[in-house]
Structures are given as C-alpha cells and as structure tokens.
Structure 1
Amino acid sequence: MRRFEGKVAIITAAAQGIGQAVARRIVAEGGAVVVTDLLRDAAVVAASEFSGRDALAVKLDVTSRADVDAAIDATLERFGRLDLLVNNAGGCIVDSMPEETSTEDWHRQLDLTLVGAARCIQAAVPHLVKTRGNVVTISSVNAVAAFGNIEYAAAKAGQIAMSQNYAARYGRLGVRFNVVAPGTVRTPNWDSQPGALESLAAMYPLGRVGEPEDIAAAVAFLGSDDAAWITGHTLPVEGGVLTGPHPIDLSPPDTLHNGA
C-alpha cells in the first residue's frame, strides 16, 4: 500500500517505541516523516534509518510552544506541507499515591500529556486545513477504564474529549481528529522491569501484550484516506482487555459449542 504517497507527517516522541514504529509504517507507505524527540540526537539516529528517503529530525519538547512552532516551521521549510500530526509524546510521570500527588505534579502530568498535545494541534491546524489533513492522538485504555495511574488516566481522557471537540469544530473544513487507545505495549519503558510484560500478558484475552507495530497499523489506518469518513472516534487497540476482568487461566474450554 502507498496510502501516504506525497504526504508529510509529524510524529512526536518518535525516536523509539510506538512513535518510531509509526514513522516506519508511514515511510513504508510512501510518506515523508518528521521524527521529533525531546533529545535531538535520538531523533537524528531514528531518522537516519530512512536513508535516501524523505525524513527530517527535529528536537521537540511539547511543553514548549516555541519548540512546537519551530518544528512546524522546519517541516514547512523542508516539505512545504503538513498532512498528518501524530501526538505520541506523553507518559506517566507521577509515581505517588493519588492522595499524595502535589498540585505541581498534577500540572506536570497535564502539561506534558494533555496540554502538550493541545499545543501541537493549535500550531498544526492552520496547515492541516490547507491539505484537509488530520490528527491522530495516542491515548490509552487508562482513559476509558480504571487501570490505575489516576493522573495519567485523567490526562489521557482529556485527549479524547479534546479530540472529539476538535473533530466537531473542524469537520466542515475537512480536518479529522481521531484517537488510538493502546493497552500495554512492549516499548523501552518496560526495560527496567524484567518479567513485567510476561505477567501482564495474562490479563489479555489474546494472550500477549501489544507490539509498537500493532499501534502503528491503527495510526496508519486512521491517518489515511481509508478513514476519510471517520472523525471524533477512539479506536481501542488492546488485545481484548476492555472486555472485562479475566482470571489468570485464560485457556479456552475443552469443548466449544454453539447456542445459549
């Protein structure tokens, strides 16, 4: 498939994990990518993978409007257009009991995950209107069900509400806003917790945690013209974990049958 032929995407936090997988998928489908990261050197290394193809590395701290504006300007200077913004930057930065979370920590979490995405959208929208482009934001199953991490969950839920409202506001101008809500995904963030992913896999009816490529496939769908009549929606990509609580033993019954 060449769904992104002639199109340009900015992906935040794209030096590794989900963001890197999204960049690979878009390039594989003919698009140009702006690989952004808080650490410019990491962005340069990630973008170098696409040698001979259209890729630009940009340092981007989404908590800085100046950085966001500079990233948009660099994109337009290099490629002359913007078709897709993938809001991937964020993370769970508060590690305390919710009753003990300070106001400052609440602000830090919201500024990175929710307001950071809002800054990127604000800067990108005027250019997306010109190309009838779209935004895909990476939220989380924590936004739609109670899995803990209250501050992170609230910020991720805010991304969904924000995207729905942007979808309603800008739909008549041809700009779409959708959200992907991943479950547990195998990213470098888990490297410091040996065995954690294997334990978490027991929660999932499909018997495994997600891979970055699972999320990239969903982003590529929503960001492409295949989803031209989809806006304001959240697509869970979560191995079935939202179907309800599951025991550790998830083996299928010995006999499968039809009927009630």
Structure 2
Amino acid sequence: MDNDNAVNAHRLAGKTALITGASRGIGLAIARRLAAEGARVCITARKPEPLADAAASFPDGTAIFVAGRSDDPGHRAEVMETIAGEFGGLDILVNNAGINPVYGPLIDLDLTGARKLVEVNVLGTLAWTQAAYHHEALGFAARRGVVVNVASVTGLIPSEGIGMYGITKAALIHLTRTLAAELGPDIRVNAVAPAVVKTQFARVLYEGKEEEVAAAYPLARLGTPDDIAGAVAYFASDDSAWVTGQTLVLDGGLLSAGGAA
C-alpha cells in the first residue's frame, strides 16, 4: 500500500523518535514513516546485520541504530545514551518489539515460554518507557513526549492457538491506559491494535491461504505495515494532541463483522 500522498513532510520536523523492533516489518515501516514526516529516528533490534541494512536505507543523518536484546537493561541504557549523544533528546517512543514463541491451548502451555512473553511484550514495554522517562539528558517529559505501543486485536478477543500472546497484548492495552493516567499532562500514551498484517512475523497466519483469510475482512484485504505506520504517525504528532490512553483498532473491519482475530 502506497501512502506517499498522505505523508506530511514537516509534521514531525525537529522531533526525535525511538522505534524498538524495527529492522523489518511494522517497526521499520513506522520508522520510515516518521522519518518521512521530518523526524530523526533511532531503530533497535536484536540482530545487528539486518538492523544496519535497515538504517542504511534512510537519508544521511536521519537514522541511527543500536542492536541488542529488548529485555536487556544494559541495551536499553545504551540506546538512551546513544540518542542523547547523537540527537540531544527524545520526543517519541514507539514500543514495537514483541515475540510469540509459544502456540497452542493455554491448558497445555509451557510456562517458561509464557513468562518470556510477559517479560518482553509487557514488562519490556514498561521498561523502555521507564528508561526514556528517567534519563534526564533526554528531557522526555519536558519535551511533552509521546509513547505509542503496538498491541494487537488478539488483546481484545480470544484467538485460537495464540492465547498467551493475546493475554500479553491485553495487558499492554491496560498498561497504555494506566500510563496515560499517570503520566499526563506531560506525556501522552496511546496504542494501536492491528489484526493480521502481512509481515514475516505473522506469515504463519496467512501464508498459502491469504485470499481465504482476507475474505473475513470487510475491506477484503490484510493489513500492510504502512497501514500501521500511518496510524502511529498520527499518534506521534500534534494532530492527536488531545488524545491519550486510547487504543486504535486497525483491522479492516474484522471485529465489526464478528470475525476472529
């Protein structure tokens, strides 16, 4: 999906954004959209090689990268120090990093995998927000910072086979509301909740049966990373200056039609 006509090249001018889990897919699309609207971006992910390739695709001077594990406190500290040194401050935090290492009914779920899901998808999001908030040199609160969390429609309705993932996304939605209540008026916190988006992360949900899966959507197609990026750009900008604690469902009408996530 081509969103070039919807891009406001100056809407985020002078802003700095951090996007976690951004070497590909939704995270990379978000970073590119924010950069296209004038922001400087720092992208993170676990593997350095694809992350470096992703950063190299941005115009000179607009993107930096720091590789590491999202659940590693040392990595988070390094990211904040790097942003402070390179860009001087932080205005936008997009918590996109997430995992789903387990599949199957909850009654038979491996609890080690479940704990890892909570650690990365919920506590990791909180930890990134804490790191940005408490790093004095970044001035996140003083700059009226914005947090956007990437949740999922699986956090709103049960989803066969990925129930624990959905539980962590439900927690993330409530975390969004709670942080919004606690951090206002200095920081706004919102979330997006996509249905199936055509990425490598979600390919098992549609690969080889895309037409069949898309038939459940009133808009008759699956989402694209650019669909999500546009919504995040709205939350990151002053166009949403009176919006906090909200979760925007991006599902092509799936839930309205009674579909399953």
Q: How do 1:59-208 residues align onto structure 2 when only pairs under 5 Å count? A: 59-126=67-134, 127-148=139-160, 149-172=162-185, 174-191=186-203, 194-208=207-221
Aligned equivalents of 1:89 and 1:179: distance in 2? 13
SS in 1 for 2:141: helix
Give CA deviations for 1:5-32 in whole Å, capped at 9, x if unaligned: 0110000111100001001101111110
Give 5+ residue unaligned stretches, structure 2: 1-7
Give 5+ residue unaligned stretches, structure 1: 248-260
Offset of residue 232 of structure 1: 0.3
Aligned equivalents of 1:49 and 1:3: distance in 2? 21
After TM superposition, the score normalised by the length of structure 2 is: 0.90
Aligned to 2:247: 234
Offset of residue 158 of structure 1: 0.7
Give CA deviations for 1:92-139 in whole Å, capped at 9, x if unaligned: 211233111122121011111111111101101233202111100000
SS in 1 for 2:142: helix
SS in 2 for 1:129: coil
Equivalent residue for 2:258, pick from 241, 245, 259: 245
Look at both structures and tell me which one has the larger radius of gyration over its CA atoms: 1
Amino acid paired to 2:56: S
SS in 2 for 1:136: strand
After TM superposition, the score normalised by the length of structure 1 is: 0.90
Matched-pair contact (CA < 8 Å) for 2:45–2:70 = no
Q: Is it true that 1:11 corresponds to 2:11 in the alignment?
A: no
Using a 3 Å threshold, how does the CA distance of structure 1 residues 44 and 246 change in structure 2: closer, same or farther?
Answer: closer
Offset of residue 200 of structure 1: 1.4
Offset of residue 194 of structure 1: 3.2
Aligned equivalents of 1:77 and 1:146: distance in 2? 43
Aligned to 1:35: 43
Using a 3 Å threshold, how does the CA distance of structure 1 residues 142 and 47 change in structure 2: closer, same or farther?
Answer: same
Matched-pair contact (CA < 8 Å) for 2:196–2:202 = no
Runs of 4+ in 1 over 4 A off after TM superposition: 190-193
Amino acid paired to 2:200: P
Matched-pair contact (CA < 8 Å) for 1:190–1:197 = no
Give CA deviations for 1:28-82 in whole Å, capped at 9, x if unaligned: 1111000111112211110100132311011131111111111111111110000
Matched-pair contact (CA < 8 Å) for 2:17–2:41 = yes
Aligned to 2:52: 44
Aligned equivalents of 2:59 and 2:154: distance in 1? 37
* Identity, % of aligned positions: 35
Give CA deviations for 1:233-259 in whole Å, capped at 9, x if unaligned: 000011001113359xxxxxxxxxxxx
Aligned equivalents of 1:24 and 1:47: distance in 2? 10
SS in 2 for 1:33: strand
Matched-pair contact (CA < 8 Å) for 2:198–2:224 = yes
Offset of residue 91 of structure 1: 2.6
Amino acid paired to 1:19: G
Q: Is it true that 1:22 corresponds to 2:35 in the alignment?
A: no
Aligned equivalents of 1:146 and 1:186: distance in 2? 20
